[in-house]
Chain A
Amino acid sequence: MEHLAFTCLSVFSLACALGVVLSKNAINGAMCLLLCLAGVAGLFVQLHAYLLAFVLVLVYAGAVVALFLFIIMLLDMQGGRGWRFRGLSAFAGFIAAALLVTGLNVLAVRGHLDAGAPLGHSGSTFRDYSYQLFTTYLLPVQVMGFLLLIAMLGVIVLSRRGAPSEEPK
């Protein structure tokens, strides 16, 4: 049963990821990304990371994809030029992707990663995460807070109309 769900979810998310790469229109690409993220969230649920699945849907599907759609709408890209073979670079891209998969899979098989059944803590609760975040990982949490603040300030400066860099025109 779990194998069936895993197979369905992985095929679904891989197909949607290929949809992001192959779709002509950027809007279709963003929608495929949304579906792919939903598939990955399903896999998170299978791995008993319920909170992470929720956060993934909330942050990625809710915020990031919506932001992408806003920007695509704002830039009004008339469909874009889509995907097509472009000689050497497409060939190099396929070769590089194939090499990446082969290398990682050889690493996974040869490295005896498979430690048998999951040892799992059965489904971490919110409390467990909070405990970790506020004890072991307190400094990274603070750094992340500063990073978000700096990103917010940067975006405000970048998107201000009549920014100093545009004034010479």
Chain B
Amino acid sequence: MTPSLDSYIMLSSALFAVGFLGVLVRRNTLVIYMCLELMLVAATLALVAFSRFNGTEDGDVFVFFILTVAAAEVAVGLAIIVALFRARQTVQVDQLDALKH
């Protein structure tokens, strides 16, 4: 008796919501970035579950692409964060308000 597709989808949506909550609540750019990764992993889990329960491999192949894009995105994003820190000496989003006023 394997767990049903519903339970995987619920887990995936819960993980996504936790990541979303982190993006909205936290103020540290790096932690926001980790929460974004969490959301990507949640979407990945849903893709793998659908792929398994539908008997196709396309979802699994897309997970490869998601992993590649996530790796590239993390590299570029962290480089941007380091450049931002060099310019402003902070990574707290409420102090990075140059465009706000």
B96 contacts the other chain (Cβ, under 8 Å)? no
Interface size on A, residues (CB 8 A): 82
The one of B11, B19, B78 in contact with A10, judged by C-beta atoms closer than 8 angstroms, is B11
| Residues A59 and B71 in contact, CB atoms below 8 Å apart | yes
User: Are A36 and B24 neighbours in the complex by a CB distance under 8 Å?
Assistant: no
- Which residues does chain B contribute within 8 Å of A37, judged by CB atoms? 41
List CB contacts (< 8 Å) of A124-152 with chain B. 124, 128-129, 132-133, 136-137, 140, 144, 147-148, 151-152
Q: Tell whether, in the assembled complex, residue A71 and residue B30 are in contact, meaning their CB atoms are under 8 Å apart.
A: yes
Q: Which of B1-18 contact A (CB under 8 A)?
A: 1-11, 13-18
A to B contact number (C-beta, < 8 Å):
230
Q: Are A129 and B37 in contact (CB under 8 A)?
A: no
Q: Taking A67-B75, A75-B91 as contacts, is the C-beta distance between A47 and B52 under 8 angstroms?
A: yes
**A50-81 interface code vs B (CB 8 A; 1 in, 0 out):** 00100110011001100110011011010011
Is chain B's binding surface mostly helix, strand, loop or mixed?
Answer: helix
Check A144/B69 contact, CB under 8 A, given A10-B11, A71-B30, A100-B13.
yes
How many Å from the CB of A161 to the closest CB on chain B?
A: 9
Q: Which residues of B contact A147 (CB under 8 A)?
A: 68-69, 72
Is chain A's binding surface mostly helix, strand, loop or mixed? Answer: helix
| Cβ contacts under 8 Å, A136 to chain B | 58, 61
Q: List 9 A-B contacts (CB under 8 A).
A: A13-B15, A21-B21, A36-B41, A43-B45, A46-B3, A100-B20, A140-B65, A144-B65, A159-B79
Q: A47-B49, A49-B60 are in contact. List 20 more A-B contacts (CB 8 A).
A: A2-B2, A17-B15, A18-B18, A20-B35, A20-B38, A21-B35, A29-B31, A40-B45, A55-B67, A64-B70, A67-B78, A90-B25, A92-B24, A97-B18, A101-B17, A104-B10, A108-B13, A132-B57, A144-B65, A151-B75
The 3 closest A-B pairs by CB, nearest first: A119-B55, A93-B24, A151-B72
